[in-house]
Amino acid sequence: MSLESLFQHIIFSEHQAEESRRVMREVRSEITRCREKIKKATEELNEEKIKLESK
- 13 domain residue, yes or no: no
The reported pLDDT for the residue numbered 32 is 99
The Cα 44–Cα 21 span in angstroms is 35
Rg (CA), the chain: 24
Within-domain flag for 40: yes
| Domains identified in the chain, total number | 1
Given this model, what pLDDT does residue 55 score? 73
In a domain, 5, yes or no: no
Instruction: Give the model's pLDDT for residue 46.
Output: 97
Residue 2 forms part of a structural domain: no
Q: What is the pLDDT of residue 1?
A: 76
Sign (positive/negative) of CA torsion 14, 19, 22, 27? negative
Dump pLDDT digits (tens) for 2-32.
Answer: 999 999 999 999 999 999 999 999 999 999 9
How far apart CA 39 and CA 31 sit, in angstroms, is 12
* pLDDT score recorded for residue 22: 99
Residue 16 lies in a domain: no
Q: Could you tell me if residue 21 is inside a domain?
A: no
d(CA 8, CA 16): 12
The parent domain of residue 37 ranges over 29-55
